[in-house]
Every structure is written in C-alpha cells, then in structure tokens.
Structure 1
Amino acid sequence: MFGLDKQINNDSLNFIVIDGSTVQEPGAKETTYRLHVAIDLMSLALREVNVTTDKVGESLDHYQLTAGDVALVDRGYNQPKSLVPLIDRGGHVVLRYNPHSMTLYERCNEPKGVKIDWEQRIRDLNGQPGAIPVYLCHQDKRIDGVVHAMPLPPEQAAQARRKAKQRARDKGRTASQKTLMLSGWVLIFTSLPEALLDTKSIAELYRVRWQVELVIKRLKSLLDIDRLRARKDSKLADLYLHGKLLFAAVTQKIAQRRFGRAATTMDGDRSITHWRLWRTIANEIKAGLTACFPKNKRFIDDHVKSLCERPRKRKLQGLPDRVLELIIEGQGGGVSLA
C-alpha cells in the first residue's frame, strides 16, 4: 500500500473516487500487476495506491476507508461483502449498479427478503428518472439504500442494446428481454439518503468519476508507470512500480505547494490543467536528478551492458567481411571499380 494524501474528517463527507488499472511485464499479453487507485474528489490528489498481482481483483477492501468517506466506484465493485462492512462503519458508496452481479431487495418486512423485479420497476417509471428504495443484504446485515434510475437518450440506448446483443452473440446466446431493457438505463446504487442527494445530483456526481481515469492516464503517459522492464515478482519490478509512485507523490506535492488551490480543487473554475502541470514538474524533477546524479565513470561498463541486447541465438546484423574490406580499402584510397 502506498498512502499519498490521506484526508480524513469524520465531521463531513469525503468523496473518494476509486478505480483500477493494469501493468504488464515485457512481452506479456495479459495483466501482470494491478494498480488500485483512490483520489480525493475535491483536491483531485492521489490519496492511496495499492500494487497487487493479477491474482487480486478489484475490491474496496484494498483501501483504508473510514466513517465519512464516500466511495465512487464502477460496475466492478458490485460486491456486498465489501460494500456492507464499509457502510456499517459509517462510510458510503455511489456505485454503478449491475443487477446481473448483485441482488438487491425490496424495502419490506419479509424475513428472507423479496428480490426486486427490475423489469417491472423500470416499467413503473414510464421512461422518467426515479429513485427506488432498496435493501442491500450480506449475511445478517440489511442496509438501507437507493437505486437512482436514469434513462439514456434514445441514440445511446439503441447503441447500448446493440452492444448487449453483440456480447450475447459472442457467447453463443441471445440477449434476454430484461438485459435489453436495462441496457437503456443507468442505475446507480447509493447508501446516501435521497434527502441528501437526489437523482439529478447523484447522476452529476457519478459523471465526475471520470477524473480518476485522467489520473491513471497521467501516471502512464507522463510518468511511464506502465513501461515495466522487469519480470513479475522480481525485486526490480517492485522497485520500479513503487519508485514511480514516489515520483507521482513528489510531483503532486510540488504542484500543491507551487500553485495551491488554483490547480488542485474542484470547487471552482480551474485555469490550469493537471496534464501540463504534471508534465512540467516531472520534467523538472528528471532534470534535477540527472544533474545531481551524473553517470559515474566507474559504472560505464555496467551502463553499456544495460543497453545491450539480451542473449539470443540470432546475433545482431553486421556487414559482410568482404564489404568491410572494401570500406577499409576505400578509406585508404585503394579501391578501384575499373
């Protein structure tokens, strides 16, 4: 775990956007490492990053979330076993709900609960946005929640249904009527009461989740965290990934100190883009490190060796011996084509 800018205030709500990304070792076509990233939505600062292997999936259990934290997460976090404990200790979630992955229940007194019929619930909305009270259950816990349902515009809904049909065909199946109906809607589950944030506000809040995607893009495009040149589970791989996170922490801290709220808050108009800011500061750090730690002549052989090709059966191409002889003779003025 790599803690960066932890901000905890139990007297207010702290909106934390969470997402994951992947890193591959050289030559790999599948995931080698996963980055579990959390940013503070107000400051857009990295709050926490965890590095795991490909065997560890996305989960809220990776993060040190406490009372007052509101986690904004995508479909990959439809997991009652990690959602319920967070809500139970005073945290909250805003989650892109997937009815196929997580079961929610009607608000009723039935001991075993009544599963929600989403087809009927969506029909009852008559194409209008609405809030549906639900229970989120895990083991003996029953948590009050709300699903905010919003219809997609006609063009987007049609496109979503086409994609659903294609995914079903790829698996040799036919998309169900329920799947096609739900494809035309955005469903967001939250443990925050409707009186605090209504459907319109929840929809606007969830759109801001895109900011974590931009942070991950900066980590990869500007700081090259995904250009891993070491094998899985090696000390060099561990050093590289955590070294890049240290690079990100220093870059972020310099940005905060140099530009303050002008670049690091979401509570007003921002005139400075994080992309240009990070790129400028990252280049300054690289230049400073190069100046402070010039290449030592004692290690020049090791430096050259690190730039060489790895051993392999086929050698790097070179000129034929006879061509080399002609070049040498030509340099001495002794080659004639006559």
Structure 2
Amino acid sequence: MRADILAEEWGVITQFLPDGWRELARSTGALKRARQVRNADVLLRLAFLYAASGLSLQQAAARATNAGLARISSVALMKRMRSAGPWLREIAEGVFTGSARMPSLEAVSAGRRLRVVDATHVRVSGSSGTDWRLHYVLRLPTLTCDFAEVTDSSGGETYKRVPVEPGDVILGDRGYCHREGVAHVLDHGGDAVVRLNANSFPLLDQEGSQVDLLDTLRSIEGHAPKEYAVRFRANDREYAARLCAVRKSASAAQLAKERLLKAARKKGRTVQEQTLELAEYIFVLATPGLNDLTAEQVLELYRVRWQVELGFKRLKSLFDAGSAPNRDPEAVRSWIYAKLLAVLLIERLGEESRLFSPWGFPLGGGQPMEGVSGGVRRLPRRGVSPLLAKRVAAHGG
C-alpha cells in the first residue's frame, strides 16, 4: 500500500483515540526512549501488528522491519510490549468513554445505564488450564464496552470489581450471584438483576426466616411470571430485593435437566432430585430500584443479558483472544489490552461508516500524525474503506 494512503488511514484511526494519547506513552513509561521506536504512533502500530493480527514476536518484528516501520528485534519488541500495558489500558478506557451513548430501553427509565457483566478465560499457548481472566462490561443495546480488567486465574467473577455509578442497572449470570457483590452495587446507587444461585445466596422472607426456594417456586401456576418480596444479609446489614420467577416450558425444562445429568456423569457425580426440579424454573433477583418494573419486565431484562455472549464470541472469533502467545505476565496483559483496543476501534469505525455527511467529511479536524508533514486529512465518513477495519489489525504491514 502507498505510504501516503497508509498515513491517511492511520490518521482516520487515531482520531478515535483520546486526547493526549501520545503524551501518555511517555508518562506511563511505555516510551521511555526512542531508539528503534521513534514515537507513540510507531509503538501503537507495533502493538496492533503483534497482538491484533495474531503474529508471533518474530513475525511481527520481521514485518515491521520490511515495512520500514521500525528496525526492531523480537527481543526488543517483547520488552516494548512488557512496558506498554498501562498505556494501552488508558487508551482503551478513553475509547470506552468516547463511545456512543446507550439509548434507553423501553422497560428502563430514561437516564439509566443498562450494563451486562461477564468474564472469559484466556489461555497461553500450550496450556491446558486458565492462565488469565478477562472481565468485561458491555452497554446494552449497543454492546459497546465501558470497562475491562485483566486478572490472573484467581480473579473471580464478582460485581465488586465493577465501577458502579448511581442509576446503573447491572445484569449478571449465576457466577455473579454473591451477596457482597449485589450489596456493592446497591451501596453505590445502582441496581442489579442476577440469576439466583440457590446454594450460595440464601433468601429471607419479610419476617426474617429463611425462604424455602423450591417450595416457593411450586406456587407458580402455569407459565405466568410471579414475584416475591425477599431480603438478604450482607456486610452485617439487611437488604430488600425481589425474586422474579417463571416456570419453563416442558421442552426447555427437559433440556436443562439433560445438561445437568450430562455434566454430573462427566464428573462421576449424581444430581439431587431437588436440583432437577429447580431446573424447571428460571428465577432471578432484582433490587428495589427496579420495583417499577413488572416481574415479566425483569425477566425480559435478564433475557437481554444474553447479548453479552455475542460480544464475547465476536471478540474471540476476530482476534482469537482465548490463546495468549506467551507466559510473561506483563506482556500478556499488553497483548490482551491491545486486542481490546483494536476491537473498540473497529466498532467505532463501523459506527462512523454508517453516518453520512452531505459535504463529504466530518467537521472538527483531526489530529496530525507525528512525523508526517502537513498533517493528515480526515477521510469522509462515507469514504471509510471497507478494508480499513482490517488495517487496524495489521497496520504495521
């Protein structure tokens, strides 16, 4: 590709990065000295070339040298990646902040953010277990990310690691059903909808007695959703909540039971009859800020939560995020954040390409690329190349 076109495309990509991202490269220690990597633009392109395009360190270094991007060895690239993690994370957080605002869903009052939380495993090459865990929060309905954190395999799924603002509605699966985590959301002015784990989340009735969950669910007639006022204890306090439940169809219940039995057989265990009967229901916990919603609307919110699975599948399929290339902790973190940043930029480019300006370009002017005389002209939104998203993943070539 011609150098002037490549520079112009890079100018389009960098306009979505937060202000001061180049200066951050030095303040975070990612770019302490120039040597083979002359500026922040080159460093970020190297990160994309290595992480987003799936090349090995040796391949990325060779391609960067052949393309005239930087004369760098695989060892030197490794060292750069080890120190780039904090910088890449700050850039990604800036892109989160600049993403389009989520429109309100019909069931949720205006001004409330609907967010879904989940986690995915990241394994290094040749490993048989989980080495890292990526915790990821997506807005609905846009599926844009507004929080991400990388932990080692001991980093459990909990609402407590998610930053909560007043008015947030956070949806989680059974892995997030911990009393302290739900209390964390409430204490920060948010609300939660979480799939209830009957074993780890004991409920109390209004008189303070423990709720017999199965006996309560048996009171559901037909397939109409039903709700129950409950309470739970956490951090030496009592919190009010609502149990919203519905009986599954016969076929859905049968499939759920078959999955339980299959999983138990693999582990050489037996399934209790009570557990099999509980599989005939879907039951979620909702906190008091959602009392204006009916039980049916709460269950619909939980159903919408499954959109997060699509976001993770896209992340994995685009960048093979489930197989980190090496065991160096700092390098792996940088590798994951570089992939996340590439995903976010591709999402933003997709959003921009759907917009049209009659004069052929967005107003406001772009940031010039360091080392390119005369600055960089911003491409018109309608002129964003269909291949531009792919260039994010392999811009060093």
How would you bin the TM-score normalised by the shorter chain? 0.7 to 0.9
SS in 1 for 2:316: helix
Normalised TM-score (structure 1): 0.72
Identical pairs, percent: 28
User: Per-residue deviation at 1:204?
Assistant: 1.8
CA deviation after TM superposition for structure 1 residue 140, in Å: 2.4
> 1:260, CA displacement in angstroms?
5.3
Q: Which moved more, 1:152-161 or 1:187-196?
A: 187-196
2:332 matched residue in structure 1: 237
Aligned Cα root-mean-square deviation (Å): 2.7
Q: Which residue identity does 1:29 align to in structure 2?
A: S
1:58 to 142, 152, 157: 157
Shift of 1:227: 3.6
Alignment of 1:197-276 (within 5 A): 197-233=293-329, 235-259=330-354
Q: Is the 8 A contact 1:60 1:82 kept in 2?
A: yes
| Matched position secondary structure for 1:125 | coil
1:5 equivalent in alignment to 2:96: yes
> Which structure 1 residue ranges, 5 or more long, are not aligned?
262-276, 295-338
Moved more, 6-15 or 209-218: 6-15
Query: Deviation of residue 169 (structure 1)?
Result: 4.9
Within a 5 Å distance, the mapping from 1:112-131 to structure 2 comes to 113-128=208-223, 129-131=225-227
- C-alpha separation in 2, matches of 1:155 and 1:205: 22
Contact 1:32–1:232 under 8 Å retained in 2 = no
Letter in 2 for 1:23: V
Deviation at 1:216, TM superposition (A): 1.2
The 5-angstrom pairing of residues 274-313 of structure 1 reads: 281-286=388-393, 289-290=395-396, 294=397
Q: How does 1:162-181 map to 2 (within 5 A)?
A: 162-170=258-266, 173-181=269-277
Partner of residue 40 from structure 1, selected from 119, 139, 142: 139
Asked whether the equivalents of residues 255 and 281 of structure 1 are also in contact (C-alpha less than 8 Å), the reply is no
TM-score by length of 2: 0.62
For 2:290 and 2:319, locate their aligned partners in 1 and report how far apart those are by CA, in whole Å: 40
Residue 185 (structure 1) aligned to one of 281, 286, 294: 281
Q: Deviations over 1:134-172 (max 9, x none)?
A: 102113221111111111110111222233344445555
What amino acid does structure 1 have at the position aligned with 2:390?
N
Structure number with higher relative contact order (C-alpha < 8 Å, ≥ 6 residues apart):
2
Determine which structure has more spread, i.e. the larger CA radius of gyration.
1
Contact 2:243–2:285 (CA<8 Å) still a contact in 1?
A: yes
CA distance in 1 between counterparts of 2:161 and 2:112 reads 20
Aligned to 2:11: none
Check whether the contact 1:32–1:54 (CA below 8 A) recurs between aligned residues: yes
SS of structure 2 residue aligned to 1:81: helix
Deviations 1:155-205 (A, max 9, x none): 111222233344445555543332122110000111145642112212222
Q: How many residues end up aligned between the 2 structures?
A: 269
Q: Which moved more, 1:145-154 or 1:61-70?
A: 61-70
Report the Cα offset of residue 12 of structure 1.
2.4
